[in-house]
Amino acid sequence: MGAMKILVSDSLSKQGLEILVKAGFTVDVKTQLPKEELLTLIPNYDALIVRSATKVTADVIAAADRLKVIGRAGSGLDNVDTPAATRRGIVVMNTPGGNTVTTAEHTMAMIFAMTRRIPQATASMKAGKWEKDRFMGVELYNKTLGVIGIGQIGGYLAKLSQGLSMSVIAYDPYLATERAREMGVEVVDLPELFRRADLISVHTPLTAETRSLINAAAIAQMKAGVMIVNCARGGIVHEADLYEALKSKRVAAAAFDVFEEEPIKPDHPLLTLENFISTPHIGASTGEAQENVAVGIAEQIVDYFTKGLARGAVNVPSVPAELLPRLQPYLNLAEKIGLLQAQLYEGGLERVTVEYSGEVATLAVAPLTIAVLKGLLTPILEDAVNFVNAPIVAKERGIEVKEVKGGDAGDFTSVIRVRIETGKQTHHVAGTLYSRKDPRIIEIDKFQVEVVPEGHMMLILNQDRPGVIGAVGQVLGDHQINIARMQCSREERGGHALLIIGLDAPLPEGVLSTIKRGKYILSVKLVDLSKGV
């Protein structure tokens, strides 16, 4: 075991390093490596441990001849090309949950600092002033906090806020009503949250649906004097729109730890406003959190090399190595089905039923069900969801999960059908493998389709009338947006139709709203299937 060599390319607490050394590994700590040097060194190592600074790109992975595992001390994996690692058979693991308390506490600290204007008062005093009448604050007692996304971080923030006698309302399309009741949180739709909240904090990932979720139109629905916090991901709040709202005092104050572009430029307009406070993406930066994630990733690496356990793996389930090649195509299909479901439907998710028909029903399907959950929960949670914690996250959120084997696979060798129940509605998506390796979506509710589940897609539900496809194509053409693939399915002539368009890139802002206003258009959904294994 002493032959195992581990490269630690970002700073890691000594407690984590000690665990690796004690296990008999050779550990080299080389931080702030230029990319060229990393490319030169990486072929010599069996494992790589990073935080957020090192960029583990496809070319780094291609050069890593011996690499078996990449460990991220933290939850975010934006800096790791996970699909490239998966193709090379390299396990990617992270430490979800290690930053939960710290990030929630930082959010609460930002709320206190914003409502009591502490940074501004400190700056005033350091300038030699005593402006006691200038810094009138806002009391949190009995105020309503609106939390967008109740994952681990949003949930812990809710608990902290309730301790201050605040009311907590939340928008979370996949939080079961019963679970919300247990948390003492009232689930509402987004317009109601905007209308009722005195303070709003966002805790979602950055996706096509959440980008610019808070913009000028959203702010117009909010209470005058609302306060906004973003310690999740830059880009969820439209910074230019927020600047105008802060300047006019429509939004009384805002506090950000994250930005659309980081590091933020010194001349950024938001930094000129007295009612805007900020920190440089330090939500997870406490000694305790850094020790938690360092110890966590070190123990996971040791377990992987000594026991074969891939704890915290985001791209490998816990199945025997000899079964993985046969399961891998189905794992990919199952996760894509869940990922698609998550972005199509809204409502408090109460039940997920996964039905396996045909050849797939003869396999060990438990990992496939976990892959469905991973896909289903990934787009809606700020916290990282992986093959290890997906069932736990579902249980915490009050989601009932059922597996069913059997049923008719029809003309296909195997079919995986995922049915979700969201209170008053039931939706299903089915998929299969072509040539036992290429995933296809073959049903979306009542529509028979044949969709390659990859990249960016737009799904348009419309009335079956002449001219709809042409009108949509015209809008896309006018904005120089190329259509990669397109198909249309309908219930019956003159009824409802589903138009599915594959895009080469995400839609620019404004194009979506233009399409939604089109004649005969009932709804438009943007889907990003580039995530996952």
Active site amino acids: 233, 262, 281
CA distance 396 to 64: 38
What lies within 8 Å, CB to CB, of 69 at 6+ separation is: 46, 47, 48, 90, 91, 92, 93, 301, 304, 305
CB 302 within 8 A of CB 19: yes
CA distance 54 to 76: 12
Using CA of residue 38, residue 15, residue 384, residue 195, what is the dihedral sign? Answer: negative
CA triple 65-66-71, angle to 5 deg: 110
456 SS3 class = strand
DSSP for 318-355, please give it. Answer: S--TTTHHHHHHHHHHHHHHHHHHHHH--S---EEEEE
Task: Count Cβ atoms within 10 A of the Cβ of residue 509 and give its class: 0-12 exposed, 13-18 middle, 19 or more buried.
Answer: exposed
CA distance 116 to 228: 14
- Residue 419's CB: how many other CB atoms inside 10 A? 17
What does the DSSP 8-state code read for residue 52?
Answer: S
The widest CA-to-CA distance across the chain, in whole angstroms, is 80
What lies within 8 Å, CB to CB, of 511 at 6+ separation is: 475, 476, 479, 481
Q: What is the 3-state secondary structure (H, E, C) of 171-189?
A: ECCCCCHHHHHHHCCEECC
Residue carrying the six token digits 């000899």: 322
Phi, psi of 532 (to 5 degrees): 95, -175
CB 99 within 8 A of CB 72: no
Sheet of strand 400-405, all strands in order from the earlier edge strand to the far edge: 400-405, 351-358, 414-421, 426-434, 438-444, 447-451
- Residue 96: asked if its preceding bond is cis (omega within 30°), the reply is no
The structure tokens listed for 102 are 């710290």
Using CA of residue 490, residue 491, residue 492, residue 497, what is the dihedral sign? Answer: negative
